[in-house]
Amino acid sequence: MDAVLRAGAMYIALMVLFRVAGRRSLSDLTTFDFVLLLIIGEATQQALLGDDFSFTNAVLVISTLIVLDVGLSLIKVRSTRAARLLDGHATVVVEDGRFLRGRMRRCRLTEDDIMESARANQGVERVAQIKYAIVERNGKISVIMRDDAEGEGE
């Protein structure tokens, strides 16, 4: 019983904490972010297992986590509302070569972040070349370029 409760409570606590952290925080993993993730894992491990390092306990904890995770994804498939609540939304942050600054500020994104992603993925040089930049649910920035004809009309 203990193992299931521990795993369940930790799953919920982590979900809430990571929702507070927002989608930006752990998406583009820098070395530091990676180390941070390891530390979070380390801190979680103790609370998950307690002082019971038995094989059975580990299997119980892992089973509980998988049951919860698969259960949630099943709920998400059934209900769009639940999916949006749990996973968040994608947000447009550049539209027709224009930064939407209010949204960027709330997403904690700078122009540099967006242009960096645009250069890396699409070879974009100027913001005018971007048709749409979208912050995806996992925090990655997708960039859709303008068609050439449109770009020249600018």
What residue ranges bind other proteins (CB under 8 A)?
A: 9, 16-17, 19-22, 50-51, 84, 88-92, 95, 98, 100-103, 106-107, 132, 134, 144
Residue with tokens 């992603």: 117
Residue 75 or residue 137: which is nearer to other proteins going by CB?
137
> What minimum distance in Å lies between the beta carbon of 18 and other proteins?
10
User: Please, what is the minimum distance in Å from the beta carbon of residue 85 to other proteins?
Assistant: 8
Q: Which is nearer to other proteins, 13 or 70 (CB)?
A: 13
Which phi and psi (to 5°) does residue 98 adopt? -125, 130
- For other proteins, the closer of residues 5 and 62 by Cβ is 5
Least Å from the CB of residue 119 to other proteins: 20
| Direct distance between the N- and C-terminal alpha carbons of the chain, in angstroms, rounded to an integer | 65
Minimum Å distance from CB 54 to other proteins?
17
Residue 50 dihedral angles phi and psi, to the nearest 5°: 65, -140
Phi, psi of 105 (to 5 degrees): -65, -45
Q: And the tokens for 52?
A: 């019971």
Q: Which is nearer to other proteins, 88 or 151 (CB)?
A: 88
Supply the minimum distance, in Å, between the C-beta of residue 31 and other proteins: 24
The contacts of residue 127 (CB under 8 Å, 6+ apart) are: 94, 97, 98, 99, 111, 114, 115, 118
- CB-wise, 78 or 98, nearer to other proteins? 98
